[in-house]
Structure 1
Amino acid sequence: MEQTKALNALEPYLALTKSAAAPRAAADLVTQATSNPNTYVFAELLQAPQIQSLRQSPEYAPYLSLLELFSFGTFAAFAQQADQLPPLNAAQTLKLRQLSLLTLARDPRNLSYASLQQHLGLPDARAVEDLVISAVYAGLVEAQLDPRNQAVHVSRVSPLRDLAPNSLPGLLAALHAWSDHCASTLADLEDQVARIKAEAKRRHDEKTAWEAREAKLVEDHGKLDLVLPANQGAGSGGAGGGEGTHSRNQGRYLDSAIARLRGSQRNGKRGSGSLDAAQDSDEAMDLDEEEPDDGEIFGAGASGAARKQRASRRRL
């Protein structure tokens, strides 16, 4: 958009070159074109035959050199040969400094306040800031001022500078180097993407295998839960299907204890009646002895009566 605007501003001067047959008229046309605040590209005007004819005039040849500086030169180059070139008015001075800023912005090392003062012939930091602000408002650059660090940070430069003669080989070399760097960067990115995909596939396979193993373990555990209760029920006679080993052992102990009790009862029935009476009396005596003393219940005062009562029981 900036180039289109600059070319449209240059169109009237290109039309006037057809009538600028005299060197003086061509020189005046150069002054008018470089003083216009909207003209920033001059390659078409520089290639016009009437302008190129100024090279043949020793008096007006400096105007051709001045137009070349506006096309692809810098303010520092003008300062070095200022005594050989026509003087600049205020509009030309501002424009040449703005165009020089576009060239200097290609290298961030040139964007300190001190470097800009030196290359643009500015008296102080305030003049640097005013120039940068004017270039921003003109749409030439997108930049930010950094007074604390005394630097200018440029984020975009408008393509409004013409190519200098014999600059194409260097430009092509720079473009090839940039292309090779881009190709190398893309190759590195592709390798990284391939490694990331391989790692993701490996993790997916591990997750799938782990889920399959987990499902198999859950299935085996379910089958084991179905088999164990059936075995436990068969071992306990079906009375306690969910009982364990301790329940089966307890049942065995109870069965053996009941069998011993039944055996002792049968042996008692086979003995004589006197033996049964003696056993009954002995059991009664044992029960009496196991009963608590009345003295323990009522106190020490009743101990004598308690002893007499136990003696009478023994005699019975």
Structure 2
Amino acid sequence: MTQDMLLGNEEPSKSKETFLEKFCLLAKAATTTSALLDVIRQALEAPNVFVFGELLAEPSVAQLKDSEDAKHFETLNLFAYGTYKDYRSQPEKYIELTPAMQKKLQHLTIVSLAIKAKSIPYALLLSELEIDNVRHLEDIIIEAIYADIIHGKLFQNTRVLEVDYAQGRDIPPGYTSQIVETLQAWVNSCYSVSNCIDMQIKYANAEKSKRILNKERVEQDLINLKKVLKSQASDSDESMQIDTHGPGTSGGLGQSELRKKPSKLRNPRSAAAVGLKFSK
């Protein structure tokens, strides 16, 4: 049985950005540290906020990194760039997550996996989300689909999540240079492919020209051969006409002479009789 959870091809609406802007404004307006920490916790629990880069960039939030409230900064950093396994590996580094926060972090982990691969086995999802129940896993995936951060289908027979779309996550600091290098490598690869195609086109055109010239040469040779054969056939016909109707060249008798000769030798006995009678 296949469960189709495709929600459409449209990209997420800009309402998520609006929600994030609201928390950025609240962070700017916070006059005390406790108020700022409360804003951070609200952003982490908010169901429609899945990017946190702008909030991290707020000066008041950045100052928390080296303060006694650094756990709030690290937790916000975790939700921006990390995964559920990162949290489980060092839970003491972060604030205690509420059930809503944990579920959101699991949703973000699914997004990270969906960005890397379009076909995600259940086994990998169960491992990354540290879930031992397939039904629970499917519920979390369906929640992520309805949250509009991924589009895809659940194939229960093959136990695979096929992803059609995944929302992008925040880009870690210093990662931009890696993106530039990746894009440059892609551009260089495109140039190489383009040059290879140009060479193949030139080779194909040269081969085509050779074939055309060869074809023209063969056709001309055929025309010349036909002319020679026709000329030889004409000479042969003329020669045969001369041998059949012309005078003999070997001293033999012609046809008219051959027809006349037998008439002189007709009735040899009569001639003998006449000869005998004359001798008496």
TM-score for the superposition, normalised by structure 2: 0.72
Structure 1 residue aligned with 2:257: 259
2:133 is equivalent to residue 124 of structure 1: yes
Equivalences for residues 1-316 of structure 1 within 5 A = 2=12, 4-55=14-65, 58=68, 60-108=69-117, 111-154=120-163, 156-158=165-167, 160-224=168-232, 226-237=234-245, 256=255, 259-268=257-266, 275=273
How far apart are residue 254 of structure 1 and its match? Answer: 10
Equivalent-residue separation in structure 2 for 1:168 and 1:38 (angstroms): 26
- RMSD of equivalent CA atoms: 4.0
Q: Which amino acid aligns with 2:25?
A: A
CA distance in 1, matches of 2:109, 2:81: 9
Distance in 1 separating the partners of 2:178 and 2:191? 20
Range 127-136 or range 65-74, more displaced: 127-136
Shift in Å, 1:45: 1.2
In the alignment, is the contact (CA less than 8 A) between 1:54 and 1:61 conserved in 2? Answer: yes
Task: Summarize the Cα distance change of 1:49–1:76 in structure 2 as closer, same or farther, 3 Å threshold.
Answer: same
Secondary structure of the residue aligned to 1:111 is strand
Give the partner amino acid of 1:165. P
TM-score (norm: length of structure 1): 0.65
> Deviation per CA, 1:35-67, whole angstroms, max 9, x where unpaired?
333322211111112323444652x43222221
Q: Are the aligned partners of 1:6 and 1:39 in contact in 2 as well (CA < 8 Å)?
A: yes
Q: Greater CA radius of gyration, 1 or 2?
A: 1
Query: 1:268: how far off?
Result: 3.9
In 1, the alpha carbon distance for the partners of 2:235 and 2:97 equals 106
Query: CA, structure 1 residues 268+91, in 2 after alignment: closer, same or farther (shift >3 Å)?
Result: same
Instruction: Decide which structure has greater helix share.
Output: 1
Determine if contact 2:118/2:164 at 8 Å carries over to the other structure.
no
User: Relative to 1, partners in 2 of residues 1:274 and 1:118: Cα closer, same or farther, differing over 3 Å?
Assistant: closer
Supply the AA of the counterpart residue of 1:262.
Answer: K
SS for the counterpart of 1:88 is coil
Change in Cα spacing, 1:274 to 1:80, as seen in structure 2 (3 Å) is closer
Cα distance in 1 for residues equivalent to 2:190 and 2:103: 37
Moved more, 33-42 or 212-221: 212-221
Mark the runs of 5 or more structure 1 residues left unpaired by the alignment.
239-247, 277-316
Task: State the shift of 1:161 in Å.
Answer: 1.2
Q: Distance in 1 between matches of 2:242 and 2:134?
A: 102
Alpha-carbon distance in structure 2 between the residues aligned to 1:201 and 1:152 = 53
Gaps of 5+ in 2: 1-10, 275-280
The SS at the match of 2:26 is helix
The answer as to whether partners of 1:143 and 1:152 remain within 8 angstroms in 2 is yes
> Deviation at 1:94?
3.1
The one-letter amino acid of 1:69's match is L
CA contact (8 A) 2:12 2:148 kept: yes
Does the CA-based 8 Å contact 2:28-2:60 persist in structure 1?
yes
The number of residue pairs the alignment matches comes to: 264
Cα contact 1:23–1:57 (8 A) shared by 2? no
Corresponding position of 1:296: none
**8 Å contact kept, 1:51–1:64:** yes
Is the contact made by 1:104 and 1:110 (CA closer than 8 Å) also made in structure 2? no
Change (3 A) 1:153 1:220: farther
The CA deviation at 1:3 is 8.1
Q: Render the CA deviation track for 1:90-134: whole Å, top value 9, x for unaligned.
A: 443333222222323454499332222122222233333444444
Percentage identity across aligned positions? Answer: 25
Distance change (3 Å), C-alpha of 1:207 and 1:79: same
CA distance in 2, matches of 1:141, 1:217: 74
Pair 1:47–1:3, CA change in 2 (3 A): farther
